[in-house]
Amino acid sequence: MFISGNWKMNTESDEAQKLMEAVVKGVEGTSSTEIVICPPFVYLESAVRRTAHTRVRVGAQNVFYRDRGAYTGEISAGMLKSIGCTHVIIGHSERRSYFHETDMDVNWKVRACLANGLVPILCIGETFEQRKKGQAFEVLNRQLVYGLMGIDDEHIAHMIIAYEPVWAIGSGVSATGVQAQETHSFVRNLLSEFTEEKVSQGLRIIYGGSVTPMNADELLGQEDIDGALIGGASLKADHFCEIVRMAEEVSPTQSS
């Protein structure tokens, strides 16, 4: 199982330190779940220092696809790697919506991460209107195919796909276990069309969208759901750690 917390643009310095401290202590004793926290850029280095020699890894919420240059305000994959980050969230719906990131932008960012030894967490998801019009699978198909374009099986196998229905993010309304499983199964079957079976079957596909301790058990218990990308609940250490413990119970023998 893979559990990641996306803090988004939340917490000031003291809050961030206390939250990270509480998470590190709260997941002590876990063994089968890979845990990644993605704080805002300004806290990445301190987070890496605090999580050294623990089970918690640190990821970024975004990256730029160029290695260096006159790109004011941007941060490269090499910079993230150099301070100890291991993962990067790419293509989150908030980036696509507010900052107009295209499918090609997402693909370039994925490539940049892989070239620098970082694990991309590639986000895909449909809006409520797209689902209502029966376009959900068409949208997911496009986002996934473009996101992985030109990337070989060896690299795809080390990635993580995060299905986040846009209509569920931050809304307090999550997809049901059945809805999420249906979509995850579609994504895995789609992957099998352009990757080897061992890749499509082994690739981790996680769910995001108002995941809480109240619904995590149902979601994580689905056959094709390999973890969760947690937003609001990751800002409460007790809630996040409870979800980690639920993941441990679902797959107690899975090694990270």
Single-letter amino acid, residue 218: E
Q: Which of 210, 149, 161 is nearest to 186 (CA)?
A: 161
Element (H, E) at 34: strand 34-38
What is the DSSP annotation of 152-165? -HHHHTT-EEEE--
CA distance 248 to 244: 6
Indicate which residues carry an active-site annotation: 92, 164
Q: Find out whether 125 and 165 touch, Cβ atoms under 8 Å.
A: yes
Whether 34 and 2 have beta carbons less than 8 Å apart is answered as: yes
Cα–Cα distance for residue pair 141/135, rounded to 1 Å: 10
Task: Say if CB 60 and CB 90 are below 8 A apart.
Answer: no
Which are the contacts of 119, defined by CB distance < 8 A and separation ≥ 6? Answer: 59, 86, 87, 88, 113, 158, 159, 160
Nearest to 225 by CA among 146, 168, 161: 161
Q: Report which secondary-structure segment, H or E, holds 25.
A: helix 13-26
Strand partners, 13: none
